[in-house]
Structure formats: structure tokens, C-alpha cells
Amino acid sequence: MNIHQQALTKFGEQKQKDMLIEEMSELTQALLKDRRGRESNISEEIADVQIVLDQIKILHPDWISWEQVKLKRLRERIGV
């Protein structure tokens, strides 16, 4: 069992979903600070979001097929 699965098992699915919401909010705040020219910790917040997002991906394995659909659409939009 990898670290992400261990965290889900220890803390529970709902707790980690709530944690993802919290971490995404912190990233949002860091991005807004940066936009206003204030010191921010965007890189740290990205890491926090990614760690919990990786846990949530375990719960929703169909994200992979959606990612492919979205990437195809993006390629079409940018003309690649």
C-alpha cells in the first residue's frame, strides 16, 4: 500500500476530501497574493494540493479517461 492509500485509510475519505478543499483554498489565496505583488508560497501550496489530489484520484480512477478527453480538447483549441 502506497503513502496515498495509507493516508486515505488512516484519515478516511471524507476527511481527505475536506482537506483537498482546504488546500485548494490555500493555493487560491497564495495565487491572489502573488497577483497583488505580495510574497506568496505558491510552490508549497501546489505540493500540498497535489499530495491530497493524488489521494482523491485513488477514489475516482475514471479521472484518467476524463483527462484524456480534456487534453484532446485543449490540443484542438491551441492547434497542436
Mean per-residue pLDDT for 56-74? 98
pLDDT tens profile 9-21: 999 999 999 999 9
> pLDDT, tens digit, for every residue of 12-48?
999 999 999 999 999 999 999 999 999 999 999 999 9
pLDDT at 80 over 90: no
* 52 band by pLDDT with thresholds 50, 70 and 90: very high
Q: Domain count of the chain? A: 1
pTM, full prediction: 0.92
Average model confidence (pLDDT) for the chain?
97
Q: Which of these, 24, 22, 42, lies nearest to 34 by C-alpha position?
A: 42
- Determine the structural domain holding residue 15 and report its residue range: 3-78
Distance CA 10, CA 6 (A): 6
